[in-house]
Each structure stands twice: as structure tokens, then as C-alpha cells.
Amino acid sequence: MPLIKPQQKNICNFGVSKTEPYFYKNTLKGLRTNSLQILFALSFTVFINTLGFAQEIPIKGKPVIKPKTTIDSTTVVLDSIAALNPPIKQVDSVKTDSTKQKSILDDIVKYKATDYVRFNQREQKIYLYNEAEVYYQDLEIKAGVIVIDNSTNLVYAGRIKDSTGYSQAPVFKQGPNVIEPDSIIFNSETRKAIIFNSRTEDSGFNIFAPITKRENDSVIFMKDARFTTAENLDDPEYQFISSKIKLVPNKKIVVGPTFMEIYGVPTPIALPFAYFPLTKNKQVSGVIFPTFGEDTGNDRGYFIQNGGYYFAISDYADLAVLGDYYTNGSYGLRMESNYALRYKFSGNMSFRYENLLNSERGFPDFAQNTIYNIRWSHSQDAKANPNSRFSASVNLGSSQYYQQSINQLNQSNFLNNTLASSVSYSKTFQGEPQVNLNLSATHSQNTQTESINLTLPTMQLSVGRVYPFAPKNGSKKGIIQNINFQYNSRAEYRISTTDSLFGKSEMFDDALAGMQHNLPITTNFKLFDYFSVSASTNYQETWTLNTIRRFQNTTTGDVETVDLNGFDAFRTYNFSTSVGTTLYGLFNFQKEGKDPKIQAIRHVVRPSLSYTVTPAFDQYYETYEVVSADGTTSDEVSYTRFQNSLFGSPGNRYSSSVGFSLGNNIEAKIRPKDSTETEAKKIILLNNLNFSTAYDLAADSLNISPVRMSGGTQIFNNKMSVNFGATLDPYALDSNNNKIDKFNINNGGSLFRLTSANMNISYSLSNETFSKEKDKDGGETDDAEKRALEESRRSGGRDDDLFGKPQDFSNRIGIDDNDKKDTESELYNYKIPWSLRLAYAVNYNNTRRNDQISSHSIMFSGDIELSPKWSVGGSSGYDVLNKGFTYTQLRFERDLLSWRMNFSWVPFSNRSSWNFFIGIKSNFLQDLKYEQRRQPDRRLGN
């Protein structure tokens, strides 16, 4: 049979009976002839063409001439599976309807091969050799050798054997599923297959099986299989051996008796069965495997932590319910949910409740404590609705939650003294003028004093500026055209309570309610083209439902205060004006023939002068008479009934004050290091340096206010941030350290007396800081670190790791690092990645000649990669004032390819503890882990 040329592509459509040969039907027309020989010759030719087989050995009888047997030098040695000759299924002819025969295949088969494609018409087989490919519907087969048997609907695929071994192993692909076996037998009619030594991957699982049976498109059975999530498939660091596996692609894997091997060494880790859900489009519900251990720090005994169930509610929301239980009776419950709707909103909610028992009932050190925490974060997509917006950031609960919780170690959170929450809704009503409405509920909680302040709710309404005298066209000019007014109002219901009364009816006993209206009228204009002048007057009206009445009890002699509930109001107003300008100074250091490094310094000065008048509102003040104990003398005491109201009380002192402020900014132009650059580089020498003070014309003494100074800058290529401030008082102190109406310079001192000062410095640097080749991506943090910082921010902690990195035992992995690939270098990599963050803070106080540093501390945090797989880090600080180290955390982490191991240690303080963890990175096998930790002893205090 002739061979087809290499790389020749054929299309074959099998649409005839299984046993009939191919021929064309010719239309024969009867011819009249007088020659019998011609008719006999034509009949014999038709008979031979119909029933004869060209160049074939007769089936029956011996041939007259034996064919000469020759050995073809291009004989192909097929894989063992290709040499198999499976029995042909016999079909009962009675059951076969000859009038309705189904085609062998339902679609066109496309195939090609590099060396040859050979047809054997008698055997009904097609042979493809070297880089053979077959495409049928969603089925793709690529192999060294492919044999298509049309008589049995079987497709054989195998490897090519040569002097070096086997090559071109088959690749069987059907839809998204890919299997790489040594050989395969596939039935194109039943779509069943027998696969030998297959390799397949599904949702991160790499499965190897010596024999695989494919029932249909959705069910695969494997015998004596092994599976792993390791990256090195030839030498995996771990794998699971299972006697039988059922795989439903993209849905689930069910395994029978399974045990684990680590680098080929069997381990006692075994399971009677296991179930792994597989999905690429959405999450599925399932059991969350717990963690087992023992709490030796607080005598709670053995525990089960973080066990529960995950509910995949829909494509837009989920819910995880987790629980803890300790053998001494302590227990905890956590519910966490995430939700999102594309182009609309996203958020998450969590609730944690813990009932903690220390020691055992009946022992003298037994104690019980109940704590809880509620967190909610909601953000709306900016494209959802441009005129309305809803957002929430809630973090409330027991004041001692972060200090007492036994299921997390959030260093940056338990050192935080404040919990804050806010839920707000804003609505904009378009028009002229524009109206903005905002409704919010806020919460502020001090974890040290356990005091709580709530506003339920706060309503703010504002009307946009209205220019009644502005021209219809063109810009506004002059005093009259720039006159504008607007309206602002604020209504609030405030509750002040404590942690012990929160949620009880007593928390509303001291609630305050009120509303404040503001109507400012302003204008601005230019004076002499260089000065900007603004003037404003503000009318304010305050409504309140809480007032007081104060009097002296004639019986006891005590001054009593009675709270009154009812509507009352007071009205105030003031006037202010200011004038300011901007001065620019340029110091040029460039000279002819010289090119200094510092080419110029630019100094920007912004002076401002203001004047404010506030009348005295004596009409809102009353007096009551206080009689001495012996009844001989009496004094009148002034008070206002509004002094305990929500928005404060009106002033009864006339004020006429002149204020002065001075702002400075200094920049420099330096010569660029690169000679090809033509523009000078601008750097900031002093970002801001501000001075402010005031003089009260109406005061009878101490007219000058202290001078307040503040400044800040960034140096070392913006790596170091420096902020400082000070307060300078011109008045002196008497012998009792009280301020007197006498200048300090006239009292034998300096012009100003330094009463307070502060300075904060933060510096961040890494190995890239001193590298000529800067990190192009800006040194972005990885997903795991971002999630840790976000967790800290949600709980009200710092957004850095100067107080240590937060850890949550309920979700220790979360991020699959399999996407991170190591970049190998041909040369030795001498760069060791490292990072260091420093923070320095000092505060000085000299208000009453105390002349002391109130606080002085240094905080530092850093990480270093000793090798591509080893990293160590730590966070600590030193209290210079008290001469001791602050909270310290040490961290060690080892990347074990498919595994992660980390160890964190707090070596001293009452939070002394350590945590060890090792587990598989893959989210499918994250329950396969080992944890051991020693929790802080809560009995030592906080």
C-alpha cells in the first residue's frame, strides 16, 4: 500500500457500513450489440470490480504462487499496548436492522502525522506514526503512534521506542481535562477508555495511576494511585498513596484507604477515606477540620479549635461557622461571612464570642470571663450610584477582648487602646444649590477606662454655597459679587456609658440630644493685587433637650444640680476677617564658569493676619446665692443652664483677638547625577515650618497666646520622615509655678519659655535602598503581608509591623504560595533581601517647671532572608525613659516547597508565648497541618 507524504493532513468521514468497501456507483445504460463476446467481457469486468480485492491473498485455498516475504526496514516497534489485539465484539445479525444503520462516528475525524499515515482497508485500520494527532469533537490525542480501528471503534495511542528508550508519550485531552499516560485505549462510541500509567491534574491536584478506567466524560476510576500538590512531580517531597480513587473532573475526588509518604518514606498518617471538592468557578460547602492541642498556660486542658463548617451560600456570599471547646468547660464561637456584588458593593462580617474559664471549678484560682467582638466592613463601588453612598467600618465588643482572647495573637491590636466604628449613609440632591444629607452612627471605646461613646444617629445637612450677587456670565469680581452664604445643620443623639452597662437600659440614662444650625456669610477679594482678603460672619443657633437648674439646698447646704428635659435654645454669632499673601525668594548659586551641586534654593513664605470678634452672651447666664455655713455671708455664683448640653454652652466673655501665622517651605535645585539630563532635580529641604500666635485685645491680662511651632520634612530620597513641634510661652511663672502677667524676659529668663516639644522620626530602608538598580515594582508587599496589614487595620491596630505581625489561628494559611517561582541564576546570588523599619519618638514637658521628658522610645522591625527558603525577623523597641525593652516578637519562617513552617516567639513580658506551625500551602490540603503553641498566662494581668 503506498505511503502518504509526511505532514499530509487528511479528513475522513466515516458514514457507511462497517463491512462494506468503498466504491462509486456508476449509472449503466443498456447497449445493443450483436457481439456476445463483448457482453461477456463487460459482465466479467463488473463482477471482478464488485467482489474482487486488488493485490490481496485469497482467504481460502493455497496460492498458486507464494508471495515473496520481505522485511521492511521502516518497521515500527509499537508500544506494548498497540500490539494488543482485543477481540472483536460479535453482533447478532438478527438484532441488526439492515434498513437503519448508524454511522461509525458522529463527526468528522481530523488526523495527521509527521512520518506517514497508512490505511489498511482489509483490517479497517489507520496507522499514524511520529507526532501523530487525532481530533474528534472535543477529543484530542497526541502521541508517537496512533492506531484507529474502525471495525471495533477503538483508538490505540502509545509511545515510540528507539535505542534511547521511549519518547512522545500520549497526551489525551477531552474538554478541559488533560491526561498524560504511557498508552491508552479509547472507544469512540461508548467514550470509555483504559489508560496506563496516567498523569492528570485537576484544580491543583497531580494524580498518578498505573491503571485508570474512564467510564464516561464525568467519572474516572484509578487503582493504586498517588496524588500530591508538589511542584516537582518527578521527585515530590510528599505524596498520598491510595488503593482506589474516584475522580469527577471539576467536581470532586473521593479516595479510599490512604496513607502518606514523605520523600518515599511511609508515615503513620493514614485515613480510611477522604473527600476533596474540586471547583474552578465557585467555592463549595464543606467541613473545616479542627486543630487539637493542650492549653498549659491557663489550665484549660485539652482543646479542639477552629472546627466547623463552611457554607457556600451563593456566588455572592459565604459563611463560616467555627467553634472551640476546652476540657475545663471553656468554649468559643465564631461566625465569619464575606459578600460581594460586582459593580455594587463588597464587605465582610465577623462575630466572636468566648466563654473563658481559668483553672477548674472549686479551685481558688478559678475565674470566669465572657468576651465578644463584632466587626463589619462594607464599601460601595463608586460606579454603583454617584448620588448616594453607604459604608461601614465597625469594631466593637468587650474592652478586654484582644487582651483575653485565646484564639488569636494580634500584637498590633491588643496594644491599641481605642476601638472605633462608623456606619454612614450619604445622599446628594442635585440642583442649584446642591443639598447633601449624611446619616451616621459612630462608636468610640477606650479599652483602658472601658468608657464608650455612641452617637445613634448623627444627621448632617448642608446646602451648597449661594452667590446672590454673582453675574450670570463671567467670573466673580469684587466684594459684592463674591458674597456667598450656605447652611449647615447637625443633629445628634449621644450616649456615654461603660463596658459593663453596654446593651442595658441604664446606658440611656445620661443620653444627650441636640441640634445645631450654622449660617456663615463670607466674601473674598484682592487688595493691591498682592493681598488676599476674606471676611465672614457666622450665625449659630443651638437646640437642646437637656438643661440644668442649680441651687443651694438650704437644709443640707450643698449645691444641687437638677437635670431638666425639654426643648431650649441659645443663639450666638461672631465676625472674622483675614488677609494674607505669598512671598517667593530665590537664592541662585550658579555663576559663570561654575556648576555647583546646589544650583538654587527657593524659599516660600505665607504670612497671614486675622481678626476675630466674639460678643459675650450674658443673657444665657443665671446666678444662685450660696450662703455660708454660719449664715452670715452669701455669694452669688453665675452659671448657665446649657453647660451640660450636647454642643456646650455660649460664652459670657467678650473676645477681640488678632491672630498671626507664618508658613514656610524651602526647596532646592541640585545638579543631576546623569549628565544626559538637562533639567535640575528638585528636592524638599523643609516641607513646612509654621508659626502661629494671637493677641486678645479685650483681655485684662495674659493677652498674648503661646507661640506654637510645627514642621516636617522628608530626607534620604523620602525614606526618612521627620516631624517636630514646640510650644513657646512668653509669660513667666511665679514661685508656685503658676503663670503670671509678666514677660519671662523681664523675669530674668529668655524671650520665650519652652513649655512642650515633640519629635517623631520614621525611617524605612532595605537592600534596594543602596542598590543602583532600583526595584521596578516599588517593592510591593505580597498577598499574605497585605492581608496581615489589612487585618490589623480592621481591628484598629497599626498598619505596620512595628508592634509585631498579627496572627489568627483560625486561618493560618489563606494564601497559596505555589504561584511564586524561584528565579535561578547562573552565578552566585550575593544579594540578601532585607528590610528595616525604625521609629523614634520623644516628648518634652515643662509647663510648670517640671523640665522632664515625658516619653522617649525607639521602635524597630526588620526581616532578612538568609537564603531563598529561610527568613527571620523581629519587632521590638526600647523605652529610653524607663530603660527597658518594649513588646518584642521574634519570627522564623522556612519555605518547604509545598509546605510552610513558621515559628514566632515572645520571649518576655506577661504576653510571653510561642507558636509553631507546619502545614501544606495548598488550600485543598490546608487541614493537613501540625500546630503547637504556648499561650500567654492571662493570670499575670495585662
pLDDT, residue 379, reads: 93
Interval 458-472: pLDDT, tens: 999 999 999 999 998
- Answer with the residue of higher pLDDT: 729 or 817: 729
- Beta-carbon count within 10 A of 659 CB: 17
pLDDT, residue 215, reads: 83
- Answer with the residue of higher pLDDT: 809 or 342: 342
Q: Give me the amino acid identity at 690.
A: N
When pLDDT is averaged across residues 409-429 and rounded to a whole number, the result is 82
**pLDDT above 90 coverage of the chain, percent:** 35
pTM for this predicted structure? 0.69
- Answer with the residue of higher pLDDT: 267 or 752: 752
Question: Cα(226)–Cα(862) distance, rounded to whole angstroms?
Answer: 41
Interval 368-392: pLDDT, tens: 889 999 999 999 998 888 899 999 9
Interval 577-601: pLDDT, tens: 999 999 999 988 887 777 788 889 9
Interval 502-520: pLDDT, tens: 888 889 988 999 999 999 9
Q: What is the DSSP letter of 844?
A: E
Give the range among 148-162, 535-549, 722-736, 798-812 with minimum mean pLDDT.
798-812
* pLDDT greater than 70 at residue 776: no
* pLDDT greater than 70 at residue 118: yes
Reduced to 3 states (helix: H, G, I; strand: E, B; else coil), residue 355 is: strand
pLDDT tier at 564 (50, 70, 90 boundaries)?
Answer: very high
Question: Cα(58)–Cα(54) distance, rounded to whole angstroms?
Answer: 10
When pLDDT is averaged across residues 801-809 and rounded to a whole number, the result is 64
Question: Cα(805)–Cα(791) distance, rounded to whole angstroms?
Answer: 10
Reduced to 3 states (helix: H, G, I; strand: E, B; else coil), residue 417 is: coil
B/e letters for 360-381, b = 16+ CB within 10 Å, e = fewer, are eeeeeeeeeeebbbebbbbebe
* pLDDT greater than 50 at residue 78: no
Q: Bridge-partner residues for 576, per DSSP?
A: 536, 612
pLDDT tier at 727 (50, 70, 90 boundaries)?
Answer: very high
Question: Cα(432)–Cα(105) distance, rounded to whole angstroms?
Answer: 73
**pLDDT above 70 coverage of the chain, percent:** 79
pLDDT, residue 80, reads: 44
Q: What is the DSSP letter of 769?
A: G
Interval 845-881: pLDDT, tens: 999 988 899 999 999 998 898 888 889 999 899 999 9
When pLDDT is averaged across residues 620-635 and rounded to a whole number, the result is 83
pLDDT, residue 198, reads: 85
* pLDDT greater than 90 at residue 843: yes
- Confirm if 228 and 238 have CB atoms less than 8 A apart: yes
Selection from 430-439, 812-821, 866-875 with the highest mean pLDDT: 430-439
pLDDT tier at 16 (50, 70, 90 boundaries)?
Answer: very low
Question: Cα(172)–Cα(198) distance, rounded to whole angstroms?
Answer: 10
Give the range among 893-897, 901-905, 923-927 with minimum mean pLDDT.
923-927
Question: Cα(926)–Cα(272) distance, rounded to whole angstroms?
Answer: 19
* pLDDT greater than 70 at residue 784: no
pLDDT tier at 806 (50, 70, 90 boundaries)?
Answer: low
Give the range among 146-150, 484-488, 533-537 with minimum mean pLDDT.
146-150
pLDDT tier at 32 (50, 70, 90 boundaries)?
Answer: very low
DSSP secondary structure, 284-296, as one string: --EEEPPEEEEET
Helix (H) or strand (E) holding 45: helix 36-51
- Confirm if 728 and 754 have CB atoms less than 8 A apart: yes
* pLDDT greater than 60 at residue 236: yes
Selection from 182-196, 236-250, 842-856 with the highest mean pLDDT: 842-856
Rg (CA), the chain: 43
- Beta-carbon count within 10 A of 288 CB: 17
pLDDT tier at 76 (50, 70, 90 boundaries)?
Answer: very low
Residue owning grid cell 527597658: 884
Interval 644-669: pLDDT, tens: 899 999 999 999 999 999 999 999 98
